[in-house]
Amino acid sequence: MSRDSSQNSSLDLPICTLEDRSKAAQCTSDLPVTTVDVVDGRLYLQIHGQVNDTVLRAGMFNQELFPPDYIVRMIETTLTTGKLNENFQQIRQQLHQQGQQLHQQGQQLHQWEQRIFNHFENRFQAMMTQNYELHEYPIPRLFIVLPKSTRRRDMITRPLTKQFRLYFLCDCGEHTIRTGRVNLPHTIHLAKHEGYDLDRPDEFFERYGPYVLTFMKFVKYGMTAAGIIVPPLAHIKIVEGLDAIEKSLKMTSELFGSLSDETINYIQDLQGTRDDVYTTGGPMKLEEIERLEGADLRQLQSYLTVKDKNRELGALNRVFTREGHVKWVCIDHLDQFDHCNENHRKALLKRLRGVIAANKGRFYPKIGAVYIPLGSATVADQFYEILVKAPGVHTLCIMLEWDATLDDLRILASAVDKANITRLTIYGQHFKGPVRDMLNSHRRYKPILDMMANERIESMSLLNFDNLFQKMDISSMRMASRLQHLNLHSESCPYTRQFKSALTKLLEHCPSLVELEIEAESLNEAFEDLILEIPIPPCLEKLTLLKDDDNVEVRISPDKKHS
């Protein structure tokens, strides 16, 4: 038996005769043979499989009748049919169009990312430089918040409240770079401190949430502005070498990153948004994020569970830059900074003494008190410029020896807010009401109310004012929760119904008031009204009424207070 017949018997397939082979060859010899359109390997293999199946069914397995090159020739011939070639061209064109669309979308996405980054960078710049304008901070301005593991006690007392811990950051940067330790990095880092528990986390995030959310993203992605560098978590080990933090957090840098995300998500859930860099609503509205003002920083400590009351918060130290701005830095950066800081401090105090002496004022450095009369708005500006930079001034007694306008008092209020003034006395005998400020006559003293409620002033005395309450719109006053001592001496101000109404509203905005001193023309009537009709602040202990050389001092017992 021949080889062909033996193979056919084993596979049980019909034998193709030489005549069949000749016909097949004649049918394919007239078609063009090319592989130029074989552009998709997957399609080639698919057709190859179909042809191979056909060959097997037709008994074309015989290499003598249908050698390999003949099979390839048949596949190539099939690919050159007009319909298949047209389909390839359409697919190729569609892929080209889709590629162009993807390229355009990629360019748009890149432009969008760049706009978001620029906006983010501008916001970072604004947040970091805002504090350059504020003189002294009672506590550090830079901090992050991370979730903490829930203790058994917290599960019982506050089962529905997630617990968080606040960690202060060292505010280092270009201003801390000095000669000496050249290997000391000057990028913002966690302070060497175990942090502070948040006493009322939901209330805290309601007030500080936008600021914390923004700064947490700065820490996550990294940012540089105004000589300050916040390195991204991906490029540093932010807790490396900080034993106190590692012991407190019990985590690695990788876990630190996941905890940061947890804080970010928690704040966004409280705000009802998950507005990451990309959302269907567009980029984050970073311009709506408020910067921390001095009052916000002063209130921050009330949310912290502080155990080290005799130490600086976060084991950080307050220093002054060359420009007179305040920074809170760790002990390592303090060593780099302290010598220059002390020289600058002395230079500022020297300038302050010079301005005070030129205006025939007095300076008491041991108690941080300044008494100064100022003859004009120009002279006042010179004094304010050095006041907001000079350290150690806490008490200010000031007399503006011209008929100050609303704008003049606003400038004074701004300087007092930026400086570290806690006890303020203003002499107002020159405030008679200039003709050029007639439109503001009824709200002329609003800046004084703002100073009273700036959450730093503990004691305020308004002496020798003319018709004080007639030029004071108390309806717009904020709560003066910090104020404990208030002296009101107003010339030509009889104890009238208007006086009584204004005083009532004023005391309602001073819940922490301990001592109150008032000048009144009718001591008996004023005493009866204050004790029997006007709501007495809950903390008030001492009331003094003055008229000329007479005075009545009253000690308020707890059972006499009423609201």
The 10s digit of each residue's pLDDT in 68-79 is 565 556 655 655
* Residue 487 predicted with pLDDT over 90: yes
Residues across the chain: 563
Name the β-bridge partners of 326: 320
Locate tokens 């005070």: which residue?
356
Q: Which CATH number fits domain 359-560: 2.40.50.140, 3.40.50.300, 3.30.2270.10, 3.80.10.10?
A: 3.80.10.10
Q: Assess contact for 38 and 76: CB atoms under 8 A.
A: yes
Please tell me the predicted confidence (pLDDT) of residue 285: 39
Signed CA dihedral, 185, 188, 189, 193: sign only? positive
3-state secondary structure at position 147? strand
Helix (H, G, I), strand (E, B) or coil at 283: coil
Taking CA atoms, 349 is separated from 20, 176, 354, 446, 512, in Å, by 113, 22, 9, 31, 33
Inter-residue contact 253 to 233 (CB < 8 Å)? yes
Share of the chain above pLDDT 90, in %: 15
Establish how many alpha carbons lie within 13 A of residue 18's alpha carbon, considering only the half-sphere containing its beta carbon. Answer: 0
Is the pLDDT assigned to residue 469 strictly greater than 70?
yes
Among positive and negative, which fits the CA dihedral 278, 283, 285, 290? positive
Tokens of 529: 């009204």
Q: Pairing state of beta strands 515-519 and 485-491?
A: parallel
Where along the chain do the CATH 3.80.10.10 domains lie? 359-560
- Does residue 12 sit in helix, strand or coil? coil
pLDDT in tens, 502-545: 888 899 999 999 999 988 666 666 667 776 777 788 888 888 88
Supply angle C-alpha 489, 507, 563, rounded to 5: 140
What's this model's pTM, rounded to 2 decimal places? 0.48
pLDDT in tens, 227-246: 555 555 544 445 544 444 55
What pLDDT was estimated at residue 231? 56
pLDDT by residue (tens digit) across 114-140?
665 565 556 555 555 554 444 456 678
Q: Which residue has the tokens 């705000």?
A: 271
b/e burial code for range 458-491 (CB count within 10 A of at least 16 → b): bbbbbbbbbbbbbbbebeebeebebbbbbbbbbe
Question: What is the C-alpha separation between 24 and 31, in angstroms, rounded?
Answer: 12
SS3 sequence, 466-535? ECHHHHCCHHHCCCCCCCCEEEEEEECCCCCHHHHHHHHHHHHCCCCCCEEEEECCCHHHHHHHHHHCCC
Using alpha carbons, select from 1, 10, 79, 73 the residue that is nearest to residue 40: 79
pLDDT digits (tens, 9 = 90+) for 135-174: 456 678 888 899 986 655 555 555 556 889 998 888 887 7
Pairing of strands 395-400, 423-427: parallel
| Model confidence at 190: pLDDT above 50 | yes
Residue 302 contacts by C-beta under 8 Å, 6 or more apart in sequence?
A: 199
Task: Tell me the longest C-alpha to C-alpha distance in the chain.
Answer: 146
Cα dihedral sign for 31, 35, 38, 43?
positive
Task: Please measure the distance between the N-terminal and C-terminal CA atoms of the chain and give it in whole angstroms.
Answer: 124
Those residues whose C-beta lies under 8 Å from the C-beta of residue 400, and which sit 6 or more positions away, are: 374, 380, 408, 412, 426, 427, 428, 430, 431
Rg for the chain, CA atoms, rounded: 40
Q: What distance in Å separates the CA atoms of residue 492 and residue 496, rounded to the nearest whole number? A: 11
Beta pairing partners, 370:
363, 396
Q: Where are the alpha helices (DSSP H) in 272-330?
A: 294-300
Does 483 score more than 80 pLDDT? Answer: yes
